């Protein structure tokens, strides 16, 4: 692993993920020698279950786009999972079949690129304000002054959540996303505090800001058949509140770290700010949100893959993280190449469980980093990248301090 910025800059074959200290996570599973009945590699999950492990792009893509693979069956007590406990079954990520389609149709238009584009002026104002905070800091820290506050401010505007409530609910979100196994009672307490807060918003016990998504959900819930119940709306809002905020922050902070740790990439972005969205896509392709990349699924039919056969009843971990580095699909797969062409990465998922917040994430991350390289062309990391503190867990993994100078 390279910690010298000069060494990163002088590589002739480009900057790789290995050149940025701690960027690559340790896998959250353990390989096992025994293959499945269909001849496929297996790994052991933190729950102790042996599951089929798919790593090739074509195989992972096949599973992610096949709606016959079920999620709900893994989200049960004693089920195969990366988490120390179950998640509410009404959350979209845990639904299958008609229930998932019904709820997905209800929200898809609100998460489209055209719909989230209305947030662009507000986002631009936020960036201006937070850049002023960065300039005013005696010891500037890009993470605390800019990257950390913006995603939750955008999320509040998007959903219609009072900003004064942030101090109450947001401290619980990182614990929920990390989903550590060492304090399950503490994790559950934080989870239900946040879940209860969202329940209060949906049921009218707490006020919402007019014009946000929660208000629209409540006004149009009867347009589905059958109408959406309170618990279903809570599942939608809770996932949006926690995931959009924390997931955007995780990708944003790691993308900033990559740029600041590799002067050649930073200088490329300064010279051509329009390349920033492509650089972001490369970081998304190569680096998962946390230590896992997708949720396990249960096969309901026989599926032939490049390495063997998935049999009905097999639990499958379709590893998008590994698929995004498949050398048969991506030439020099570990190189962070903003000029890369070819197949779309799988980090946002594919098919029915494709990430709803993908367009909003791209809008936020692209806008913030594009303005950063334009307004701070001489920005540099003011710390050894190998010594930066990190948060780490199942769905959250990121540096939590980025001291800078200019």
Distance CA 144, CA 404 (A): 11
Distance CA 285, CA 150 (A): 23
Q: How far is CA 20 from CA 2, 17, 252, 254, 362, in A?
A: 7, 6, 15, 10, 22
**Token output for 147:** 């990257």
Distance CA 74, CA 297 (A): 7
- Range name among 12-26, 103-117, 131-145, 281-295 with the lowest pLDDT average: 12-26
Q: How far is CA 404 from CA 66, 145, 148, 275, 320, in A?
A: 45, 11, 15, 22, 33
**How open is the CA angle 294-252-139, to the nearest 5 degrees?**
140
Whether 53 and 317 have beta carbons less than 8 Å apart is answered as yes
Ramachandran area for residue 78 (φ above 0: left; ψ -120 to 50: alpha; else beta): left
54 secondary structure, DSSP code: E
- Range name among 5-14, 159-168, 201-210, 241-250 with the lowest pLDDT average: 5-14
Does the pLDDT value for residue 5 go beyond 60? no
Q: 277: pLDDT confidence band, cut at 50, 70 and 90?
A: very high
Indicate the helix (H) or strand (E) that contains 276. Answer: helix 276-286
Which has the closest alpha carbon to 303: 39, 72, 100, 96? 39
Euclidean distance between the first and final Cα of the chain, in Å? 26
pLDDT at residue number 9: 44
Q: Where would I find the H helices in 332-405?
A: 358-375
State pTM to two decimals.
0.94
Strand bridging mode 315-318 / 380-381: unpaired
**Token output for 256:** 């900033």
Instruction: Summarize pLDDT for 289-330 with one digit per residue, the tens.
Output: 999 999 999 999 999 999 999 999 999 999 999 999 999 999
Instruction: Summarize pLDDT for 84-111 with one digit per residue, the tens.
Output: 999 999 999 999 989 999 999 999 999 9
Q: What percent of the chain clears pLDDT 90, i.e. is strictly above it?
A: 95
Write out the DSSP string of 81-125. -SSSS---TTSGGG--HHHHHHHHHHHGGGGSHHHHGGGHHHHHH
Q: Tally Cβ neighbours within 10 Å of residue 206.
A: 15
Q: 11: pLDDT confidence band, cut at 50, 70 and 90?
A: low
Distance CA 259, CA 268 (A): 9
Distance CA 64, CA 61 (A): 5
Does the pLDDT value for residue 13 go beyond 80? no
Q: Tally Cβ neighbours within 10 Å of residue 112.
A: 12
Distance CA 363, CA 252 (A): 11
At residue 341, φ and ψ (nearest 5 deg) are -115, 170
The HSE-up count of residue 375 (CA atoms within 13 Å, CB side) is: 14
**What three-state secondary structure class fits 212?**
coil
Distance CA 382, CA 77 (A): 46
């Amino acid at each position: 692993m390279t910690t010298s910025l000069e060494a990163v800059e002088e590589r002739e074959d480009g900057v790789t993920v290995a050149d940025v200290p701690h960027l690559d996570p340790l896998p959250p599973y353990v390989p096992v020698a025994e293959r499945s009945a269909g001849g496929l590699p297996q790994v052991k999950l933190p729950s102790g279950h042996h599951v089929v492990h798919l790593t090739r792009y074509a195989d992972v893509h096949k599973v992610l786009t096949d709606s016959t693979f079920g999620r709900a069956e893994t989200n049960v007590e004693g089920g195969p999972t990366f988490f120390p406990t179950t998640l509410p079954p009404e959350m979209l990520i845990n639904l299958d079949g008609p229930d998932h389609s019904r709820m997905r149709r209800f929200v898809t238009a609100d998460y489209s690129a055209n719909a989230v584009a209305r947030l662009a002026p507000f986002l631009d104002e936020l960036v201006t304000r937070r850049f002023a905070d960065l300039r005013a800091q005696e010891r500037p820290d890009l993470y605390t002054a800019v990257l950390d506050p913006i995603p939750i401010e955008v999320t509040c505007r998007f959903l219609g959540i009072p900003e004064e409530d942030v101090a109450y609910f947001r401290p619980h979100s990182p614990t929920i996303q990390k989903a550590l196994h060492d304090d399950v009672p503490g994790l559950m307490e934080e989870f239900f505090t946040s879940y209860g807060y969202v329940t209060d918003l949906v049921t009218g016990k707490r006020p919402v800001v007019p014009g946000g998504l929660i208000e629209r959900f409540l006004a149009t819930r009867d347009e589905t058949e059958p109408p959406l119940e309170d618990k279903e709306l809570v599942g939608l809002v809770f996932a949006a509140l926690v995931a959009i905020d924390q997931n955007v922050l995780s990708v944003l902070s790691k993308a900033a770290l990559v740029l600041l740790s590799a002067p050649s990439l930073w200088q490329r972005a300064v010279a051509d700010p329009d390349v920033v969205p492509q650089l972001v896509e490369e970081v998304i392709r190569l680096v998962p949100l946390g230590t896992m990349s997708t949720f396990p699924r249960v096969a309901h039919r026989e599926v032939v893959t490049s390495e063997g056969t998935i049999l009905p009843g097999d639990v499958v971990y379709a590893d998008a993280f590994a698929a995004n580095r498949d050398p048969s699909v991506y030439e020099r797969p570990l190189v962070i190449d903003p000029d890369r062409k070819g197949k779309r990465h799988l980090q946002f998922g594919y098919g029915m469980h494709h990430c709803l917040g993908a367009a909003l994430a791209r809008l936020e991350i692209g806008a913030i980093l594009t303005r950063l390289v334009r307004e701070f062309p001489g920005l540099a990391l003011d710390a050894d990248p190998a010594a930066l503190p990190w948060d780490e867990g199942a769905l959250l993994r990121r540096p939590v301090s980025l001291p800078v100078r200019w």
